[in-house]
Amino acid sequence: MNGKIISIANSKGGVGKTTTTVNLGTALARQGYKVLCCDCDPQGNFSAALGLKPDTITTTIANLMMSVIEDNGSGTESLTNCCIIHHNGLDIIPSNLKLSAVEISLISTMSRETVLKKILTPLRLRYDFILLDCLPSLGMLTINALAACDSVIIPLEAHYLSYEGLELILRTISQVKRNINNALTVEGIIFTKYQSHTNFCRSIRELVEREYGESIHIFKDMIGHSIRVAEASAVGVSIFDHDPQNSVAEAYQNIALEVAGHEK
Ligand SMILES: Nc1ncnc2c1ncn2[C@@H]1O[C@H](COP(=O)(O)OP(=O)(O)OP(=O)(O)O)[C@@H](O)[C@H]1O
Ligand SMILES: [Mg+2]
């Protein structure tokens, strides 16, 4: 097994990165793949969206990164095993606010862009997919995720400001590709919270397709706006557990098939 690492990233906040990580991860696990999701956001939303209480968890991605920073990773592998939570068919490396302190420590660390990579590379042998839920910033934590992964999925809301932000994340991806991670690719853009009955959403989608469609894959399945999705994160479960008949569940299922298909 040599699992694929995928970052779910966009510097714009609230566009559905965490929701995509939860539901794409769950969809891949339901299709029989071994999936690890790593929460790379000090907000700990991924962990919370699956019903965990980030503030009460003692071993998180922050401890793993500190272990690499402080002693170059000897002992990180056994710590990683303590850190992984098995939850509802998914393996999870949780996060909480302590990760903010790690981001500050990274500033003065040697090879600061590749700390996360050192933790995740050995885990490729144990998983088919490792998904990284990034925070809404292009700081050192996101750079670490982009340096550690094979490809990036960009969740995008069909709003004008999100369209503007797309340029920013694409520029960062190409800088990381040039300087740190030559093999990095964009897996694709997923439209999220999409309201297909509005001309506005359709016109933004057309704009993105026109501007980027030739060079970047745009997933044909769009994630519709549904209050059931927001409810699912509030009660701490995926859409597959909360409302399996919802069209959003079907869309994430199709996207998972497509992502897995890219591997064949
Ligand atoms: N398809 C959807 N329909 C309705 N609400 C959604 C949908 N996807 C996500 N949401 C809601 O939108 C909010 C933001 O989603 P989410 O936390 O996934 O975004 P994010 O990009 O991870 O945010 P952040 O940038 O803060 O990490 C949440 O309350 C979530 O429940
Ligand atoms: Mg998030």
pLDDT digits (tens, 9 = 90+) for 197-245: 899 999 999 999 999 999 999 999 999 999 999 999 999 999 999 999 9
Which residue in 219, 207, 227 sits closest to 251, CA to CA? 219
Mean pLDDT for the chain overall? 94
Query: Does residue 133 surpass a pLDDT of 50?
Result: yes
Output the pLDDT for position 55.
86
Answer whether 16's CB lies under 8 Å from 153's CB: no
The two three-digit tokens of residue 38, written as one number: 């790593």
- Find out whether the beta carbon of 242 lies less than 6 Å from any atom of ligand 1: no
Average pLDDT, stretch 111-129?
95
pLDDT of residue 73: 66
pLDDT tens-place string over residues 81-106: 889 999 989 999 999 999 999 999 99
Instruction: List, in sequence order, the alpha helices (H) in 84-135.
Output: 98-106, 115-120
- Specify whether the CB–CB gap between 8 and 132 falls below 8 A: yes
Q: Residue 131 sits in which domain range?
A: 4-261
- Relative to the CA of 133, which ligand 1 atom is closest? 22
Contact between residue 260 and residue 31 where contact means Cβ atoms under 8 Å apart: yes
Tell me, what CATH number does 12's domain have? 3.40.50.300
Pocket test for ligand 1, best of 8, 18, 131, 195 (most atoms within 8 A of CB): 18
> Is 159 a residue whose pLDDT tops 90?
no
Q: Is the CB–ligand 1 distance for residue 17 below 6 Å?
A: yes
| C-beta of residue 95 within 8 angstroms of C-beta of residue 103 | no
pTM above 0.85, yes or no: yes
Higher-pLDDT residue of 28 and 161 is 28
- CB of 83 closer than 8 Å to CB of 64: yes
Stretch 238-257: mean pLDDT: 97
Picking from 5-9, 123-127, 156-160, which range would have the lowest pLDDT averaged per residue? 156-160
Closest CA to 259 of 145, 122, 153: 153
Closest ligand 1 atom to Cα of 224? 1
| Count of structural domains, the chain | 1
- Contact indicator for 46, 260 with CB cutoff of 8 Å: no
Rounded CA separation 127/28 (Å): 11
Atom of ligand 1 nearest to the CA of 15: 21
- The preferred substitution site among 19, 99, 132 for testing ligand 1, maximizing ligand atoms within 8 Å of CB, is 19
